[in-house]
Amino acid sequence: MTNTIVHDDRRAAASLASDRAQPSRAPMIIFYALLTIIVVMYSAPSIGVLLASLKSTAEIAEVGVWAMPRSFALTNYAEAWSGGNAGIYIRNSFFVTVPATVISISLGVLAGYTLSKLKFRGSNALFIFFVAGLFFPPQIALIPLFRLFNDLGLYDTLWSLIIIHVAFGIPICTLILKNFFAAVPTAIREAAIIDGANEWQILTKLMLPLSLPALAVLTTLQFTWIWNDFLWPVILIRSDEMRTVMVGLASLKGQYSVAYGVQSAMAVYASIPTLLVFVFFQRYFIRGLTFGSVKG
Amino acid sequence: MTRTTYRWAALFLVLPLAVYIAIVVFPLLSSFYYSLTDWNGFAIDYNFVGLENFEKMFSDRLFSNAIGNTLIWTVAAIIVPTGGGLALALVLHERGVFANLYKSLFYLPISLALAVIGQIWLWIYQPDWGLINASLRTIGLGDLTQAWLAKPQFALLAVILAWSWQQTALSMVIFLAGLTAIPQELIEAAHIDGANYFQRVRRVIVPLLAPASVVVIALAVINSLKSFDVLYVMTRGGPFHSSDNLAMFMYNESFQKYNMGYGSAIAVVLFLITLAVIIVYFRQSAQVERLYD
């Protein structure tokens, strides 16, 4: 209770202070000039793609990508969907992303809970072992995994991608969930044990409902990273009908090599799912990105 | 801790641990083994060649070229996203008219895939109607137009700029979170003492952002070392290897030329460089933490 009051006081003081601590007029003008330039730099590329996706190849050749389209025809989108296989690529991306997101988080829940609430000798070392995987370039495992999936007969299947994203997601999921569970009062667990619950029941009935915010953070992060991944499908997928949408976009060839409108439409398709996740879960996404960078 | 609790711990850990070791740790270690062989990616047989692959690097001009480009990328990663991200965060932190709208705009590149970003920037650099050349012509500097990605002296920098577009946005998000954590009283105190805006930024805000800066720089450097997608989409390391970095060079040697032994050796070098960066990072952040506790 006292805590809240102090907090509110601080906030009030802070907002008062920042009202007065505005920069003076001259820097403000420089600020806004700079801001405008940067805003243009940040919006132009995306706007360009949208404009291009609404124009025919002939129109782009004539007036370029950046002019307003004459008609807002969706022919490029139809073409990318049917001729460019966008439908198949997107389906493949979902087949990889959804299970890999769910399973990697589930494994992270198991590891994170155990390493925070069922501590044993060496559990901290084990935690560091898990988290270390977060830092290394995937290139170091590329060739051995290429060989492994060849030997297992999983080369050129979506299974290889699912398995890889599950495994490479374990470090971040364990890190975030361990820290989350560590903040849950141990008394809750002890009370449940006295009531006769076993660890599995504690985890699924007690801890999981409590950890929804952490799960939301991880779902947005994992979904975005796995959906956007490019390296692994380049290495492990050969045939066109197994491509994920990112590789499909990069390998639009033949009749579409100069069909910038169709390529733009494909880029838009490829970005819609992560943009939707971002729009609806921005809070969690940002929290995940800034996790650990700020104390407190 | 009771016996049953131990059992539960073991039960819960077995699956994550098994998957992690089999798919991440074991392959990582096997790369060291493959780096000592001449495996071609397909044959069942291969020879143990000792350190031959590593010796080859010293005389391989493509390798030193890739190392040099990786270094350029790393230096750019320290400067551009950090400076740009800090500036953006400072501007957006002042609660201007459209600050929230702007924030969302800068968040956008973070959720875009680097493969998509590469595709977008291909058109920005497109020689005939790309945004850069079109703008140059509009303001009467048509002489400066270039086929940016086809010129060895520009290709790498052009790709790094496209990559920085996203990385800067990511840095901004982290700096913004850092700015929110700074007690306004400190800034206000400096204001009362007569510090102007730039003095406040230099003497108060930037030093207080040190923990966030360490994270921003480490993240940018680690991301730069493994950057591949944007390069693959934009230049594939060309023209004439002028934009090859270690990750691209490793890919070409391993999956285009099928020198998987040599490719593994390159991956090992990349790994060791990353390891060095991570050690520096943990030292720095430990130091910063001591200072700020």
Which residue on chain A is closest to B229 by alpha carbon? A230
Write the CA distances from A87 to A84, A228, A278, integer angstroms: 8, 16, 22
CATH 3.10.20.600 fits B46-292, yes or no: no
Which residues is B37 bridged to in the sheet? B48
Q: What DSSP element (H or E) covers A224?
A: helix A212-228
What is the identity of the amino acid at B293? D
Judge whether A156 and A118 are in contact, CB under 8 Å.
Answer: no
Which residue on chain B is closest to A60 by alpha carbon? B129
A293 with B120: Cβ contact below 8 A: no
A250 with B108: Cβ contact below 8 A: no
CA angle (A261, A267, A270) in 5-degree steps: 145
Of B6, B25, B113, the CB nearest to A230: B113
B28 with A141: Cβ contact below 8 A: yes
Of B13, B19, B185, the CB nearest to A17: B185
Judge whether B172 and B92 are in contact, CB under 8 Å.
Answer: yes
Residue B242 class from Cβ within 10 Å (0-12 exposed, 13-18 middle, 19+ buried)? middle
Question: Does A274 lie at the interface with B, CB-CB under 8 angstroms?
Answer: yes
Of A200, A249, A295, the CB nearest to B211: A295
Judge whether A173 and A102 are in contact, CB under 8 Å.
Answer: no
Tokens of B262: 């040599």
Which residues is B48 bridged to in the sheet? B37
The three-state (H, E, C) secondary structure of chain B, written as one string: CCHHHHHHHHHHHHHHHHHHHHHHHHHHHHHHHHCCECCCCCCCCCCECCCHHHHHHHHCHHHHHHHHHHHHHHHHHHHHHHHHHHHHHHHHHCCCCCHHHHHHHHHHHHHCCHHHHHHHHHHHCCCCCCHHHHHHHHCCCHHHCCCHHHCHHHHHHHHHHHHHHHHHHHHHHHHHHHHHHCCHHHHHHHHHCCCCHHHHHHHHHHHHCHHHHHHHHHHHHHHHHHCCHHHHHHCCCCCCCCCCCHHHHHHHHHHHCCCHHHHHHHHHHHHHHHHHHHHHHHHHHHHHHHHHC
What lies within 8 Å, CB to CB, of A135 at 6+ separation is B222, B274, B278
pTM to 2 decimals? 0.89
Half-sphere exposure in the Cβ direction for A188 (13 Å, CA): 15
Q: Where are the domains of chain B?
A: 46-292
Phi (first) and psi of residue B37, to 5 degrees:
-125, 175
CATH 1.10.3720.10 fits A80-290, yes or no: yes
Tokens of B101: 């709208």
Of A65, A110, A263, the CB nearest to B16: A110
What is the identity of the amino acid at B292? Y
Q: What is the pLDDT of residues B141-158, one digit of tens each?
A: 878 888 889 899 999 999
B 25-84 near A (Cβ less than 8 A): 25-28, 30-31, 34, 41
B197 with A46: Cβ contact below 8 A: no
Tokens 């003076």 belong to residue: A24
- C-alpha span between B160 and A159 (Å, rounded): 33
Q: Where are the domains of chain A?
A: 2-78, 80-290
Size of interface A-B (CB pairs under 8 A): 294
pLDDT at res. A4:
37
Residues from chain A that touch B41, judged by Cβ atoms under 8 A, are 143, 146-147
State which residues of chain B have pLDDT below 70: 1, 95-98, 293
- CA torsion, points A14, A20, A25, A30, in degrees to nearest 10? -10
pLDDT at res. A109:
96
Alpha helices in A21-122 (DSSP H): 25-53, 57-63, 75-82, 86-117
pLDDT at res. B97:
64
Which residue on chain B is closest to A61 by alpha carbon? B129
pLDDT at res. B75:
96
Tokens of A198: 């076993």
A 60-99 near B (Cβ less than 8 A): 60, 64-66
By C-alpha distance, which of A186, A229, A226 is closest to A210?
A186
DSSP 8-state assignment for residue A74 = -
Phi (first) and psi of residue A78, to 5 degrees:
-65, -45
pLDDT at res. A3:
39
Kindly report each contact of residues A15-22 with a partner whose C-beta sits within 8 Å and lies 24 or more positions away, as own/partner. Answer: A15/B184, A17/B184, A17/B185, A17/B187, A17/B188, A18/B95, A18/B184, A18/B187, A18/B188, A20/B188, A20/B191, A21/B184, A21/B187, A21/B188, A21/B191, A21/B200, A22/B94
By C-alpha distance, which of A184, A165, A178, A270 is closest to A226?
A165
- C-alpha span between B116 and A267 (Å, rounded): 6
Q: What is the pLDDT along chain A (296 residues), one digit of tens a residue?
A: 333 333 444 444 444 444 444 555 666 777 777 777 878 888 888 888 888 888 887 787 777 777 778 777 788 888 888 877 888 999 999 999 999 999 999 999 999 999 999 988 899 999 999 999 988 899 999 999 999 999 999 999 999 999 999 999 999 999 999 999 998 888 888 899 899 888 899 999 999 998 998 999 999 999 999 999 999 999 999 998 999 999 998 887 556 666 788 888 889 999 999 989 888 888 888 888 777 554 33
Judge whether B126 and B135 are in contact, CB under 8 Å.
Answer: no
